[in-house]
Amino acid sequence: MTPFIFTRLAQSVLVLFIMSLLVFGGVNLVGDPVEMLINPEADQAEVERVIRELGLDRPVTEQYWYFLVNAFKGDLGDSFIFGEPALKLIIQRMPATLELALFSLFISLVIAIPLGIYAGYKPESKTSKIIMGGSILGFSMPTFWVGIIFIMIFAVHLGWLPSTGRGEIGTFLGINSSLFTLNGLSHVFLPALNLALFKISSVIRLTRAGTREIILQDYITFARSKGLSEKRIVLVHILKNILIPIVTVVGLEFGSLIAFSTVTETVFAWPGMGKLIIDSIYNLDRPVIVAYLMIIVTFFVFLNLIVDILYTFLDPRVRIKGDGQ
């Protein structure tokens, strides 16, 4: 058990180190921030002063070393554009991304589980075939394009929902979120639905497969022979048994919602971390790019580490294999 966790931990650190090297090295080879950041009319002395101030005159290896040391202190450099610490900028925008991802997770479960159960319960019916066809379509539709269509229909054409920004932000139990105001909810709805689309398709497939398996189990036959209503069988016996694996998988995939929110945030001008990174790439704002990538990679590395460790508790086979290594 312990050696297993230790190997995984060492591996996570190694991944982070390789990432930092890759990200920092790569970002430093791209473009010339001096040219982009300094007023073209500035004189030579001014240019040199700014270069020194940003640390761009030192050799790359030295810059990397300082970056590594400072990263451990939680200081990932100041944004070239905003002049504020990159870490602070990202943390400021994190709640917006999290609330978008959470809300879209909620939407996808509410929509997909009933549809998936139906498709698994009556696999031969026309509606089920339409649902399954729809899920393939959902897989195939590029998220950003669907977002554009949402904006066109619901914001431009019908004018029902706003298409940009986060709207009014309410406070509840000390948490600031646009989920707590009606105006905020109207803003979050379209982007969240857009982000949820892919997840809806995959949860439908997952639920359907699970339902088809469960329906063959003895306890369903038993429940039927006991004379329980079909409604009770579906709502209690099937739903309960299917929820556990689905919630596990979807929970684990929460990270992918955050990664994909970059796209949705850009389309809907949602002021989250995703939009920040895209804007920063445009502006060649190196500290923010580096900080974002490091934060998101750390996030994923630890998410995976926790999942691995949790599995060793849940599944003894993993534990035995880990000890054998």
Q: State in angstroms the smallest separation of the CB of 230 from another protein.
A: 27
Site for another protein contains 145 (CB under 8 A):
yes
Q: State in angstroms the smallest separation of the CB of 203 from another protein.
A: 16
Distance CA 216, CA 175 (A): 45
Site for another protein contains 175 (CB under 8 A):
no
Binding residues for another protein, rule CB under 8 A, total 43
Q: State in angstroms the smallest separation of the CB of 228 from another protein.
A: 30
| Nearest Cα to Cα of residue 215 among 281, 138, 116 | 116
Q: How many angstroms separate the Cα of 20 from the Cα of each of 47, 65, 192?
A: 28, 11, 31
Distance CA 99, CA 88 (A): 18
Site for another protein contains 102 (CB under 8 A):
no
Site for another protein contains 94 (CB under 8 A):
no
Per-residue x/- track, 277-296, another protein (CB under 8 A): xx--xx------x---x--x
Among 68, 91, 136, 314, binds another protein (CB under 8 A): 136
Q: How many angstroms separate the Cα of 98 from the Cα of each of 27, 74, 105, 277, 301?
A: 26, 21, 10, 15, 18
Q: How many angstroms separate the Cα of 211 from the Cα of each of 131, 224, 233, 284?
A: 15, 16, 12, 49
CA atoms 175, 177, 183, 186: torsion sign: negative
Among 64, 82, 144, 154, binds another protein (CB under 8 A): 144
Among 2, 39, 140, 225, binds another protein (CB under 8 A): 140
Site for another protein contains 87 (CB under 8 A):
no
Site for another protein contains 215 (CB under 8 A):
no
Q: State in angstroms the smallest separation of the CB of 164 from another protein.
A: 10
Among 5, 148, 215, 243, binds another protein (CB under 8 A): 148
Site for another protein contains 23 (CB under 8 A):
yes
Exposed/middle/buried for 44, CB within 10 Å: 0-12, 13-18, 19+? Answer: exposed
Q: Which CB, 97 or 143, lies closer to another protein? A: 143
Site for another protein contains 13 (CB under 8 A):
no
| Nearest Cα to Cα of residue 286 among 22, 30, 19 | 30
Among 262, 273, 276, 295, binds another protein (CB under 8 A): 262
Q: For the chain, give me the number of helices (H) and strands (E)? A: 15, 2
Site for another protein contains 158 (CB under 8 A):
no
Site for another protein contains 304 (CB under 8 A):
yes
Q: State in angstroms the smallest separation of the CB of 25 from another protein.
A: 8
Site for another protein contains 26 (CB under 8 A):
yes
Question: DSSP secondary-structure letter at 158?
Answer: S
237-256 residues in contact with another protein (CB under 8 A) are 255-256
Per-residue b/e over 217-248, b at no fewer than 16 CB within 10 Å?
Answer: eeebeebeeeeeeeeebbeebbbebbeeebee
Tokens of 122: 């009556």
Distance CA 224, CA 233 (A): 8
Tokens of 217: 């189990």
Q: Which CB, 50 or 303, lies closer to another protein? A: 303
Binding site for another protein (CB under 8 A): 11, 15, 19, 22-23, 25-27, 29-31, 136-137, 139-145, 148-149, 151-152, 156, 255-256, 259-260, 262-263, 266-267, 277-278, 281-282, 289, 293, 296-297, 300, 304
